[in-house]
Amino acid sequence: MAVERTFSIIKPDATKRNLTGAINQKIEAAGLRIIGQKRIKMSKTQAEGFYGVHKERPFFGSLVTFMTSGPVVVQVLQGDNAVAKYREVMGATDPAKANAGTIRKEFAESIEANSVHGSDSPENAKIEIDFFFKPEEIVD
Ligand code: CMP
């Protein structure tokens, strides 16, 4: 299986509740390595750019407000099949539909405050990693 990278965000609802370590434990227990990680306050410009694909959606304004409401932890994860594996570890976007044991089932508050983001394809993972990380900030 191919070694891949994916991009992750631990969102403000999770950092606020001191869940960074608990989420990282689930990531590492799944065999994914955290090879880049920084805690930042996302700017409005960054949030609007990062979520630009959703700009016509009714939840866009609320999503940008939420993502800039507190610290986030942006991460680069590496491992076999990392994109699909992290999506399994996260669970469905809507925590009500997420499987038992997933991050979103255990920790998410709502479909918006759903604790984590993960890339949906290897192509988008590269774009998202490049959006937030300089090459020297990733150490594998
Ligand atoms: P994420 O995986 O980061 O991608 C887009 C985000 O928009 C999603 O997680 C949620 O935080 C948010 N989102 C998706 N669908 C909805 C929705 N129906 N209502 C509100 N927020 C949503």
Specify the 3-state DSSP secondary structure of 84.
helix
Whether 139 contacts 36, CB under 8 Å: yes
Tokens of 136: 């020297």
Q: Is the CB of 108 under 6 A from ligand 1?
A: no
pLDDT, residue 46, reads 98
Size (the chain), residues: 140
pLDDT, residue 35, reads 98
Q: Per-10-residue mean pLDDT for the chain, 140 residues long?
A: 95 99 98 98 98 98 98 99 98 98 98 98 98 98
Q: How far is the CA of 105 from the centre of ligand 1 (A)?
A: 15
pLDDT, residue 66, reads 98
CA distance 118 to 23: 13
Residues 6+ positions from 108 with CB-CB distance below 8 Å: 13, 91, 95, 98, 114, 115, 116
